[in-house]
Amino acid sequence: MLDSTDLRLLTVLQKDAHLTAQELGEMLNLSSSQAGRRRQRLEAEGYIDAYVARLAPVKLGLAIQAFVQVQMATHGPNQTRDFAALVASRNEITSAWTLTGESDYLLRVYCADLAELHRLIHEVLLPHPSVTRVQSQIVMDQFKQDGPLPTRPL
């Protein structure tokens, strides 16, 4: 069970995962050892999945961000597994969701240019035997960055 201190700790870590136990303790009015133990417990219990660095896509030559909706013709376990394997094999697909509604999947894609996005759609996704339709939306501007998850009492 999470208490209010755990929730504050999770909120703070989402903003800066590099904080030391001493810095966390000062922010949360805990000793460094208490803050460190709480962090370790939250990691062990699976509340913290990972610590990662958020990179700047444009600095890496990834000028195009797009969301690609994929509609499947068939939905059997083999087709689902094969499509998931295809998605997992493509570095330019950074996230994938299963959806309700007309589209079955939503893919977040980063590409160097429009030609690379075109190749992904027309040479990789559309030729997949279970895919019946692909629709893409190119991101013009991301005015709010991916933010932390809301933490509130459960």
Query: Whole-angstrom Cα distance, residue 98 to residue 118?
Result: 22
pLDDT tens for 62-81 read: 999 999 999 999 889 999 99
Give Cβ neighbours of residue 32 (< 8 Å, ≥ 6 apart).
20, 21, 22, 24, 25
User: Around Cβ 6, how many Cβ atoms within 10 Å?
Assistant: 20
Mean pLDDT of 76-99: 96
Q: What is the pTM of this model?
A: 0.87
**Structure token pair of residue 123:** 């040479």
Strand (E) or helix (H) holding 93: strand 93-98
If residue 107 lies in a helix (H) or strand (E), which one and from where to where? strand 105-111
CATH architecture of 58-138: 2-Layer Sandwich (3.30)
pLDDT in tens, 21-51: 999 999 999 999 999 999 999 999 999 999 9
Residue-wise pLDDT for 101-152, tens only, equals: 999 999 999 999 999 999 999 999 999 999 999 999 999 999 999 988 898 7
Q: What number of H helices and E strands is found in the chain? A: 5, 4
Domain ranges of the chain: 4-44, 58-138
13, 49 Cβ separation under 8 angstroms: no
Considering only CA atoms, which of 125, 113, 130 is closest in space to residue 63? 113
Instruction: Using the predicted structure, report yes or no on whether residue 153 has a pLDDT greater than 70.
Output: no
Picking from 129, 120, 69, the residue whose alpha carbon sits closest to that of residue 99 is: 69
Judge whether 65 and 108 are in contact, CB under 8 Å.
yes
Q: Which CATH code for domain 4-44? A: 1.10.10.10
Terminal Cα-to-Cα distance of the chain (whole angstroms): 8
Q: What percent of the chain has pLDDT over 70?
A: 99
CA 116 to chain centre: 21
Share of the chain above pLDDT 90, in %: 90
